Each structure stands twice: as C-alpha cells, then as structure tokens.
Amino acid sequence: MNPQSREQANHLLEVHGADPARWPVPSRALLEQADPGLRTQQQSLDAWLATSVPPPAPARLRAAILLAAHEAAASRRSGVLEALLALWQDLGGARLAVPAFALALALGVGLGAGMLPALSAPSDAANDDLLSLAMIDDGYAVLFTEEVSP
C-alpha cells in the first residue's frame, strides 16, 4: 500500500465523508486504502449529520436579514429613480416635453384629418363588395344582378 495514496484517501475521506457516492468518480477506488478507524469515525459522523436537524434562525436574525434586503431593494429603486430624474433634467425637462407633446398632438390631428377622406368609401365600394361576394357564393349573385338590372 502506498503511503501517499493512503494520505490522499484519508484526506478525501475527511473532505467527502464515508459515502462513496459523494466522492469524485476517479478517486472512489482510493476509499479502500483509507484508514479503517477514520472510516468508521466518518461513517458515524455521516449518520449523525443525516439525522440532525438545524435549529431555526433566531427571530432577530430573520428580521435583520429581511430589513437588509428591503433596504437594498429600496436603495436600488431610489438609485434608478434618481438616475431617471437626472436624465430628465439633462435632456431639458419640461422645456423639451412641452414642444414634443405639441408636435405629437399636431401630427395626430393632421394625420387624422388627412386620413378622413380616405376612410369614407365611395358608393361604388358597396358594388365592389357585392361583386366579390357574388364571385364567392352564387346566392349573392342574385342580389348583384337585381341591383344592376333595370
């Protein structure tokens, strides 16, 4: 038995415990070279750790953690808000917003008025719709021929 591999096996036994499933796959063969007394100790320690239940955190500790998380979130929100406010001021604030709003309003009214004649369809559009329907379904052809015929 190589003393260096026994030292390495004992070290891995102390680090990973006695369960071979927790060991790195290439090193599992070294488990047999570990000290039997140390292996027995590690097995009892593993069994005790598996059955032990950690105590709940004290209420003061939980409150302190929650308070720290809340303060961190609040500082991030205020940091973003301050950055947006600084950007708003750098861009000109209300001096920029008022003309931009007026331009958007004028474009909306102008485009709306310009599109109004295009939206009102001429009377021939009704005939075009009936013709399209007549091409799809023969039942509508009767309506189209009655409207056109004298």
Average pLDDT score over residue span 5-15: 84
Per-residue model confidence (pLDDT) at position 21: 85
Rounded Cα distance, 144 and 130, in Å: 6
**Per-residue pLDDT band at 112 (split at 50, 70, 90):** confident
Per-residue model confidence (pLDDT) at position 20: 83
Q: Please give the model's pTM, rounded to 2 decimal places.
A: 0.35
Provide DSSP, 74-112: HHHHHHHHHHHHHHHHHHTTHHHHHHHHHHHHHHHHHHH
Average pLDDT score over residue span 74-87: 80
Average pLDDT score over residue span 96-100: 82
pLDDT in tens, 114-127: 777 655 555 566 66
Rounded Cα distance, 129 and 15, in Å: 83
pLDDT in tens, 29-68: 887 888 889 889 989 988 988 888 888 889 999 999 999 9
Rounded Cα distance, 52 and 44, in Å: 12
Residue pair 17/42 in contact (Cβ under 8 Å)? The answer is: yes
Q: With a cut of 80, say whether residue 69 has pLDDT above it.
A: yes
Per-residue model confidence (pLDDT) at position 130: 65
Rounded Cα distance, 62 and 69, in Å: 11
**CA distances (Å), 1 to each of 5, 9, 13, 27, 67, in order?**
8, 11, 17, 16, 57
Rounded Cα distance, 13 and 38, in Å: 8
Cβ-based burial of 13 (10 A; exposed 0-12, middle 13-18, buried ≥19): buried
Per-residue model confidence (pLDDT) at position 83: 83
CA 73: distance to chain centroid?
18
Per-residue model confidence (pLDDT) at position 149: 46
